[in-house]
Chains A and B, each alone.
Chain A
C-alpha cells in the first residue's frame, strides 16, 4: 500500500502545511509543482523530526516537479523532460509492485489556447508511452497540474491522454482509432467535480470571462487499467483541510465562501492510495 500526494504550491514556502499533510495522511510519496519556495533540507528536517520512517529527496533534474519519498520505497529516475514539463520515476512498493510515476505541470491557459494545450498533451503522451515501452510495464500513474479539466480535448482525445470516466471503459485497455491502437487511462477525477461530488467541487477556482466554470479540476490523477485492481474510488481525495484548524477554503462567518484561499495556494492538494490487489 502506498499513498501519493500532489500539490501545486504556487511558489510559496508551505513547509508547515506539508509536514502536517504528510503526517496526518501517512503520505509515502510527495510530488510537488511550483515548489521553489520550500528549501529541501528544511522540509526534510521538519517532516522527519521524531518520525520512525524518514522521507528522502532523490536526485532530481526536473525544473518543474519535485519528489520526496519514504526511504522504505525504492525510487529510480527514468526520465526528466523539462521541455514537456514532466518527470518519470519508477517506484517499487514493498509488495513488489512497480509503479511508473509521472509527475507533470503542463502550461497554463494564460499562455496557451485549448488547441495548443491539446497539441502539447499529444506530445507528452507519446513520450510517456516511450517510457512505458522502455520500462516494460504499464503500471502507470500520472499525477499533476494539467491546467485542463477532465472533459477537455487534451485529456479525452484519443491522440492525447485518452482518459475515460469509468473503470469499465478503461478496462477495455484501449481502442482502434484511425487504424492505430490507443491505450486508455482511467480518470477518477470525473467523480470529483461539482458540489454533489465528495469533497470540494474542484481543485482550482477562477472567476472571470464570459465562459467561466468557476471551479476547475486541473489537478488530476490518471491510472492505466493495470493499476485498477489496486485502487478503490474512496481512496482518492481532494483535500480542503489541513490539521484541525487550517481550511484551504475561504470562510466567512463560519461558512465556506466557495473558493480557495489564495493566501495558502491557489490549488488544492490531491491524494490517492494504492492498496493491495483486490
Chain B
C-alpha cells in the first residue's frame, strides 16, 4: 500500500483562544457581581449585514448594561465588529461624540480599549444614574407596600370591630 503523503504538517496544539465574545462575557458577569445583581451585563451577537465594502463576513457584538428592576431597561455600552474567520482586528465603537472608533489588533489591545471605555466617566455616570433610579424605585415600591399593608390592617381592624358590634347586638 502506498504511504499517504501528509500534507498537513504538524497541527497546532489546541489553544485556549479567548474570542472577543468571551472577553465581553467576562466583563458582563463582573458587572453583575460588582452591583449585587442590580445591574446585569449582557452580550448580544449579530451577524453583520453583507457590506460590499468589507471583504470578509463580519460579526457584531454588543455589551449592554441591563437593569432588571427598571423593566429590563438596557444601555448599549459598546459594539465590536470583528471578522468571523480571523477574529482580529476588531473595531470598537462606543457612541462617543466624535464618532471615532478604536481598532484593536490583538486581545491585549482589546482589553486596553475596554478598560478605557468601561472605566470612563461616561460609563460610570450611566451606572450611577441607573443605581439611583433603582434605589428610587425600591423606595417607592416599599412605600407602596407599606401603604397597602396599612390599608389591609385598617380593613382588618374595621372587620373585627364590626364583628364585635354584631356580637354585642346579638347578646343585647
Do A and B bind? yes
In the complex, how many angstroms separate the beta carbon of A121 from the nearest chain B beta carbon?
Answer: 10
- Contact call A134/B99, Cβ cutoff below 8 A: no
- Contact call A83/B93, Cβ cutoff below 8 A: yes
- Contact call B126/A123, Cβ cutoff below 8 A: no
- Contact call B76/A83, Cβ cutoff below 8 A: yes
Interface size on B, residues (CB 8 A): 26
- Contact call A81/B52, Cβ cutoff below 8 A: no
Interface residues of B in 26-78 (CB under 8 A from A): 44, 46, 48-49, 51-53, 60, 62, 70-76, 78
- Contact call B75/A159, Cβ cutoff below 8 A: no
A85 CA to B76 CA, complexed, in Å: 10
- Chain A, 106-125, contact with B by CB distance < 8 Å: what is the 0/1 string? 01000100011001001100
Stretch of A72-80, A195-203, A225-233, A243-251 that contacts chain B: A72-80
Interface residues of B in 95-145 (CB under 8 A from A): 95, 97, 99, 126, 129, 133
A122 CA to B74 CA, complexed, in Å: 20
| Chain A, interface SS category | mixed
Interface residues of A in 111-156 (CB under 8 A from B): 111, 115-116, 119, 122-123, 126, 130, 134
A58 CA to B162 CA, complexed, in Å: 46
Contacts of A235 in B (CB 8 A): none
Contact A61:B93 (CB < 8 A) given known A77-B70, A119-B49, A159-B49: no
In the complex, how many angstroms separate the beta carbon of B39 from the nearest chain A beta carbon?
Answer: 13
Which A residues form the contact surface with B (CB < 8 A)?
A: 59, 61, 63, 76-85, 107, 111, 115-116, 119, 122-123, 126, 130, 134, 159
27 contacts between A and B (CB under 8 A): A59-B129, A59-B133, A61-B75, A63-B95, A63-B97, A76-B73, A77-B73, A78-B71, A78-B74, A79-B74, A79-B75, A80-B74, A80-B76, A82-B76, A82-B94, A82-B95, A83-B76, A83-B79, A83-B93, A83-B94, A107-B99, A119-B49, A119-B51, A123-B46, A123-B48, A123-B60, A126-B49
